[in-house]
C-alpha cells in the first residue's frame, strides 16, 4: 500500500487531558506550537518497528524523540534553535541515579551564594550579568543576579548531560521570573519578584524533573508502561504547595459545590484573566493575579480566594489584608466589576465573599486561626496535615457551600518498573 494511503487510514490515539500529554519528560520545558505526543507515537507505530531509526528534521523540543525512545526505536533530531537542541537532549539523555543526587548539592551551593548576594557578602562563584537590549525592561535586578549565579554554577558542572539537564530547568523558569506576562503574552508587567523566588522556582522545577529521571532509569519499554497500576499522586507527596491547594479547592470543593470558576492563577502562566486595579495607567499598571475567582449562580455569590502552602500566620494575614481591599477600596471594587462585566456579566451585582486556603502546619490547630484578624474574611479552607482531608470553616452567617468537608483527591500517575533497554542515538 502506498504511503499516502497509509497516512489517510491512520487512527491517532486520543489524548485525555493535560496529564496524558505531559507524562515523563514531555513536561520538562514549554515550547511553541509543539504537537501532542500521541501524533508521533501513532506515526512511529504505523511506519516503523522496534530497532528502527526515526528522523525528525525539525525536532523542536524533542516530542518525537521521546516517543521513539518509549517505543524502543533509535532517533535522530535536527533543529536550528539552540533551545530546541538543549531541551531535546535533556529529555532523552541518560543520567544515573548518582547524577541526580548531585543536583541537591548544586542547589545547596546556589542557595548559599544567593544568600550571600542578598546579605551583601562575597559570592563564592564568579558570575556575570550579560548585556542585551532592554535587559532592565524585562528583568528585575535581583532576578538578574540570581539567574547569573545559577548559570555560573551550571557552567561549573563537568558532566555534559547533567549540565544540559540543569540548563533546561533554568531555561524553563526564565519567563516565570521575568517581567513578561506569560509564555504567550509578550507585554512587560510589574510582577514584583521577591528575593529567592528565582532560586525556589528552579528548585521546584528540578524536584519534578529528578523524579522523572528516576522513572526513566527503571523504564523497560512502552508495553510495560501501559500495564503498570496507577498510584494516586498524593502517595508521592511530602508537602502541599500553593498550586496544589488551588487545585484541591477548585476540583474537590468549588466545582462539586456548583461554582463556576472564572479565573485561576498558577506560577509561570500566572492567570489568563487578571484584575486591573489602576485604570488609565496603561501597560505598566499592576495586574492582580487572584488564585481563584469563582461564581455561584444559585446564590448570586462571587468568591475570591488566595492560597498558600503550609500555614504561616504572617503570610495568611497578609493575603487576607490584600484581598479584603475588593470589599473596601473603591478602585479595587470597580476593578472587580470590570472583570465581572468581561467574563461573567451575571455576577456584576453579586455578593462578594473572601476566602483563603492553606495546608495545616505541624503546629496548626483551630485555636491558631483565632490569632488572625478575621473581620474581613468569610471562610477559610484548610487541608489536614496528612493531606487526606479538606475542611471549610466560615466566619459569617451565610453558608455558601453545600459540603464543608471531604477527602482530598488528586490526579493519578503511573509508576514504572524494570530496566532501561531502549537505545537512543543522538543526532545533534
What CA–CA distance (Å, rounded) separates 395 from 353? Answer: 11
Task: Write the DSSP symbol of residue 188.
Answer: B
Range 147-168 average pLDDT: 96
Give mean pLDDT, residues 244-258.
Answer: 90
Question: Beta 351-359 vs 275-276: how paired, if at all?
Answer: unpaired
Kindly report, residue by residue over 86-122, the tens digit of the pLDDT: 999 999 998 888 898 899 999 999 999 999 999 999 9
Beta strands 301-310; 351-359: pairing state: parallel
Percentage with pLDDT > 90 across the chain:
47
Instruction: Name, in order, each residue with C-beta under 8 angstroms of 149's C-beta and a sequence gap of 6 or more.
Output: 110, 113, 114, 117, 123, 125, 127
> What is the pTM for the complete model shown?
0.56
Strand 292-296 with 74-77, pairing:
unpaired
Q: Measured between alpha carbons, how far is 17 from 19 in angstroms, rounded to an integer?
A: 6
The pLDDT value recorded for residue 265 is: 73
Please, which residues bridge with residue 356 across strands?
306, 380
pLDDT tens per residue, range 288-340: 778 899 999 999 999 999 988 888 888 888 888 889 999 999 989 999 999 99
Whether 421 shows a pLDDT value over 70: the answer reads no
Gyration radius of the chain over CA positions? 24
Whether 427 has a pLDDT exceeding 90, the answer reads no
- On the question of pLDDT at 359 being above 80, the answer is yes
Amino acid at each position: 500500500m502506498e504511503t499516502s494511503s497509509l497516512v489517510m487510514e491512520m487512527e491517532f490515539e486520543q489524548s485525555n487531558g493535560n496529564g496524558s500529554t505531559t507524562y515523563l519528560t514531555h513536561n520538562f520545558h514549554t515550547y511553541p506550537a509543539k504537537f501532542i505526543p500521541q501524533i508521533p507515537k501513532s506515526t512511529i507505530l504505523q511506519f516503523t518497528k522496534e530497532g528502527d531509526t526515526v528522523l525528525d528534521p525539525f525536532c523542536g523540543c524533542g516530542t518525537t524523540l521521546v516517543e521513539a525512545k518509549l517505543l524502543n526505536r533509535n532517533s535522530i533530531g535536527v533543529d536550528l534553535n539552540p533551545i530546541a537542541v538543549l531541551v531535546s537532549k535533556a529529555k532523552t539523555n541518560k543520567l544515573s541515579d548518582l547524577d541526580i543526587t548531585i543536583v541537591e548539592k548544586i542547589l545547596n551551593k546556589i542557595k548559599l551564594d544567593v544568600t550571600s548576594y542578598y546579605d551583601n557578602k562575597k559570592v563564592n562563584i564568579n558570575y556575570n550579568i550579560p548585556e542585551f537590549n532592554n535587559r532592565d525592561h524585562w528583568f528585575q535586578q535581583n532576578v538578574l543576579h540570581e539567574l547569573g549565579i545559577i548559570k555560573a554554577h551550571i557552567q561549573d558542572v563537568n558532566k555534559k548531560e547533567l549540565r544540559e539537564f540543569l540548563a533546561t530547568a533554568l531555561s524553563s523558569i526564565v519567563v516565570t521570573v521575568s517581567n513578561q506576562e506569560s509564555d504567550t503574552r509578550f507585554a512587560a508587567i510589574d510582577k514584583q519578584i521577591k528575593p529567592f523566588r528565582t532560586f525556589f522556582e528552579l528548585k521546584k522545577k528540578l524536584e519534578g524533573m529528578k523524579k522523572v529521571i528516576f522513572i526513566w532509569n527503571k523504564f523497560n519499554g512502552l508495553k510495560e508502561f501501559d500495564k503498570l497500576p496507577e498510584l494516586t499522586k498524593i502517595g508521592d507527596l511530602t508537602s502541599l504547595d500553593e498550586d496544589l491547594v488551588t487545585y484541591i479547592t477548585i476540583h474537590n470543593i468549588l466545582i462539586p459545590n456548583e461554582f463556576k470558576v472564572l479565573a485561576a492563577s498558577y506560577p509561570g502562566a500566572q492567570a489568563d484573566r487578571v484584575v486591573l486595579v489602576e485604570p488609565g495607567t496603561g501597560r505598566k499598571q499592576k495586574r492582580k493575579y487572584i488564585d481563584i475567582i469563582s461564581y455561584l449562580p444559585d446564590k448570586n455569590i462571587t468568591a475570591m480566594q488566595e492560597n498558600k502552602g503550609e500555614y504561616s500566620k504572617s503570610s495568611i494575614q497578609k493575603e487576607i489584608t490584600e484581598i479584603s481591599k475588593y470589599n473596601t477600596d473603591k478602585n479595587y471594587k470597580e476593578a472587580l466589576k470590570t472583570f465581572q462585566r468581561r467574563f461573567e456579566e451575571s455576577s456584576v451585582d453579586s455578593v462578594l465573599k473572601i476566602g483563603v486556603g492553606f495546608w495545616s502546619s505541624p503546629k496548626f490547630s483551630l485555636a491558631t486561626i483565632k490569632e488572625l484578624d478575621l473581620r474581613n474574611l468569610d471562610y477559610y479552607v484548610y487541608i489536614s496535615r496528612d493531606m487526606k482531608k479538606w475542611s471549610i470553616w466560615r466566619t459569617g452567617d451565610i453558608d455558601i457551600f453545600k459540603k464543608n468537608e471531604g477527602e482530598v483527591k488528586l490526579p493519578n500517575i503511573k509508576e514504572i518498573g524494570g530496566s532501561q533497554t531502549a537505545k537512543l542515538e543522538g543526532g545533534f
